[in-house]
Amino acid sequence: MPTAVTKPEAIAPSLSANAQGLGIPDDLPGLDASKLLINCSDKLKELPPPEKLVFGQTMTDHMLIMDYSPESGWSAPVIKPYAPLELDPACSVFHYTPALFEGMKAFLDPSGQPRLFRPDLNMRRMSTSADRVALPHFDENELLKLIRQLVHLEARWIPNIQGYSLYIRPTMIGTRPAIGVAASTHACLYVICSPTGPYFPTGYKPVSLWAEQDAVRSWPGGTGAYKLGINYAPCFKPQREAARKGYQQILWILGENQQITEVGQMNFFVVFKREDGDWDVVTPALDGTILPGVTRDSVLSLIRADKASSPLANFSHKLHAHERTLTLPEVKQLADEGRLVESFGVGTAAIICPIGRIGYQDKSTGTTSEIQFPEYKSGLGPLSTALMESIVAIQEGRVEFEGWSVPC
Ligand SMILES: *Cc1c(COP(=O)(O)O)cnc(C)c1O
């Protein structure tokens, strides 16, 4: 049985083998947090009222930025006032899109100190994404040290209210100023921050999904397992069409067997009753088409943790976590048998997003049907409720578990 402690390798096992070939030359400077230069803004912005925050729209006072060039390696990192970038129009990122990002959050603990949640996993995933689009290698520990400094400086932006946090967006783009089709020899790595409130400010409302069987988000041998910008733009049009049909998000379906991959930009989970009364908790396996989410891993680890140490120890049912192929017909059959308990998407932004129903087209008849999940008074199912409480308590430093919460 897997242990509860997930090493970064679990999120991105293939990096060390692959990244070595793309490592930067030994004689060039690597990323070095001790060279950090801080240029503070002389006019700090006014903090917006927390209840007015819209996800991703307000940026903090400062950004962290550094460049890589094949002549001088990594530049000294700089924290400076938030400002537009100036880029050559020929830069690779505008043409062939070597671009990637991460999404992580900082929370205030009971003593008012900012904390990050499992940031080593985000750094590792960012490395694997950079490696996949042949951008230069960077030292994950050095970048994490720099992000901690940035968060420390921007801590006044984290509203001291439960459910609020600072969303952190590390980004890396290829900046080779030439239009020949080739790997970008130059890169810019920057980190921006945005204060954010709860995903469901007025209580949980299960979302409706459209099972998308024509457009695919990812495919075997593709790039779905990496947080690359190229994976997202092609999802916007199907998303708009699903909205026109009256569904809030997309359930991405892959292949003839109607494999479920992800929901919107979240990992998918379904919970159902077994013959023996225990509950199975199933999520698609990391087969290369699934983004290896930190929240996904945290949910699996909490369910699999030893009884004694687990925040879920007193849960009403015995739980069995499975990472395996999951198909739309299987979920339909579980619904027909009355065995569905709940289903939810997980990711850093929402943490847990309950699913209410799934609409899909029967390809043989052309008719549309729906799978309904049981309804719960709070909008969250029993396992979602327990997971949400546990994860938030760990993130906010109220409960200690496996060193997941890291003070800045
Ligand atoms: C970021 C992301 C997730 C969730 O990952 P977390 O690390 O839990 O935030 C899931 N699916 C996709 C496609 C994503 O981009």
The overall average pLDDT reported for the chain is 94
Q: Per-residue pLDDT for 339 more than 80?
A: yes
**Residue carrying structure tokens 């293939």:** 14
The pLDDT score that the predictor gives to residue 10 is 60
Contact, 75 vs 68, CB < 8 A? yes
193, β-bridge pairs: 168
**Looking at ligand 1, which residue's alpha carbon is closest to its atom 5?**
293
Task: Select from 6, 236, 348 the residue to mutate for testing ligand 1; criterion: most ligand atoms less than 8 Å from CB.
Answer: 348
Q: How many CA atoms lie within 13 A of 366 on its CB side?
A: 0
Distance from the CA of 227 to the center of ligand 1, in angstroms?
A: 8
The pLDDT score that the predictor gives to residue 182 is 96
Segment 291-321, tens digit of pLDDT: 999 999 999 999 999 878 889 988 999 999 9
395 lines ligand 1 (CB under 6 A): no
Segment 99-112, tens digit of pLDDT: 999 999 999 999 99
**Looking at ligand 1, which residue's alpha carbon is closest to its atom 10?**
266
Segment 46-95, tens digit of pLDDT: 999 999 999 999 999 999 999 999 999 999 999 999 999 999 999 999 99
262 lines ligand 1 (CB under 6 A): yes
Distance from the CA of 358 to the center of ligand 1, in angstroms?
A: 20
Segment 385-400, tens digit of pLDDT: 999 999 999 999 999 9
| % pLDDT > 70, the chain | 94
The pLDDT score that the predictor gives to residue 294 is 98
3 state SS of 342: strand
Cα(278)–Cα(281) distance, integer angstroms: 10
CB atoms inside a 10 Å sphere around CB 153? 20
Segment 225-269, tens digit of pLDDT: 999 999 999 999 999 999 999 999 999 999 999 999 999 999 999
381 lines ligand 1 (CB under 6 A): no
347 lines ligand 1 (CB under 6 A): yes
- Pick the atom of ligand 1 nearest to 348's CA: 9
The pLDDT score that the predictor gives to residue 341 is 98
The pLDDT score that the predictor gives to residue 6 is 57
Kindly state the average pLDDT of the residues 272-285.
97
Distance from the CA of 214 to the center of ligand 1, in angstroms?
A: 22
Contact, 371 vs 331, CB < 8 A? yes
266 lines ligand 1 (CB under 6 A): yes
